[in-house]
């Protein structure tokens, strides 16, 4: 089985377990999903209603994670407002014992500081990691896990990160790319110099350890 922990599409075969990314106002929660308030779509006038919906949907039996949510300095949305909503979602993650899938753009230091202040019991996963080894090691030292997507196929920097870190810190995703999860798995197995079956076994172990629906 392949595990795709963050995608905007449906699984193409029964050999792929997908966690579909949903928003509180989505209308189909029939398949395994994660749900959160993405910083791109935050609005003062709707945030409390959406947080209330989030509280309800996190109780669904096929909800595997809270997210994606997080912080983004590349958008115009007030950063303090983003932090307020992110912290409220952290509290919901703790309340319902769900790991968090994190969107982070130019705000890694702030994310690390918030994690230190909040002292969460639930795992935090940085999705779509595309930065360098120094940041990767800093995040791992602070208890984060890293999820990798299609960027691993082309980015030397991402390939170097994967080569350097332990397989028990890795998750794999397709996000909104056209690339298949199998292709990403195969590339990572090549980088790590392990068989595809060995990688699949380790990702399954990682998944079972972190995600509990």
> What's the confidence (pLDDT) of residue 138?
98
Cα dihedral 177/178/182/186 (nearest 10): -70
Q: How far apart are CA 64 and CA 56, in angstroms?
A: 14
Question: Do 205 and 168 meet the contact criterion of CB atoms below 8 Å apart?
Answer: yes
Residue 213 has pLDDT above 80, yes or no: no
Question: Do 125 and 5 meet the contact criterion of CB atoms below 8 Å apart?
Answer: yes
Which residues, in sequence order, are bridge partners of residue 175?
7
How far, CA to CA in Å, does 22 sit from each of 28, 35, 37?
9, 5, 9
Residue-averaged pLDDT of the chain: 96
Percent of the chain's residues with pLDDT above 90: 96
> What's the confidence (pLDDT) of residue 10?
78
Query: Residues 93-135: pLDDT tens digits?
Result: 999 999 999 999 999 999 999 999 999 999 999 999 999 999 9
CATH 3.40.50.300 fits 2-210, yes or no: no
């Amino acid at each position: 089985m392949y595990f795709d922990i963050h995608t905007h599409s449906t699984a193409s075969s029964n050999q792929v377990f997908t966690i579909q990314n949903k928003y509180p106002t989505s209308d189909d929660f029939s398949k395994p999903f994660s749900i959160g308030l993405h910083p791109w779509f935050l609005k003062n006038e709707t945030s409390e209603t959406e947080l209330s919906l989030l509280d309800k949907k996190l109780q669904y039996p096929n909800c595997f994670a809270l997210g994606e949510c997080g912080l983004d300095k590349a958008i115009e949305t007030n950063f303090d407002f983003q932090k307020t909503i992110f912290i409220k979602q952290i509290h919901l993650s703790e309340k319902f014992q769900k790991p968090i899938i994190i969107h982070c753009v130019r705000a890694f230091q702030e994310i690390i500081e918030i994690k230190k202040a909040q002292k969460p019991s639930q795992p935090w996963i940085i999705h779509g990691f595309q930065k360098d080894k120094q940041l990767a090691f800093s995040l791992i030292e602070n208890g984060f896990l890293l999820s990798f997507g299609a960027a691993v196929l082309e980015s030397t920097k991402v390939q170097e990160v994967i080569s350097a870190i332990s397989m028990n810190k890795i998750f794999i995703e397709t996000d909104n790319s056209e690339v298949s999860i199998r292709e990403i798995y195969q590339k990572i197995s090549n980088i790590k110099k392990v068989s595809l079956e060995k990688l699949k076994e380790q990702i399954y172990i990682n998944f079972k350890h972190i995600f509990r629906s």
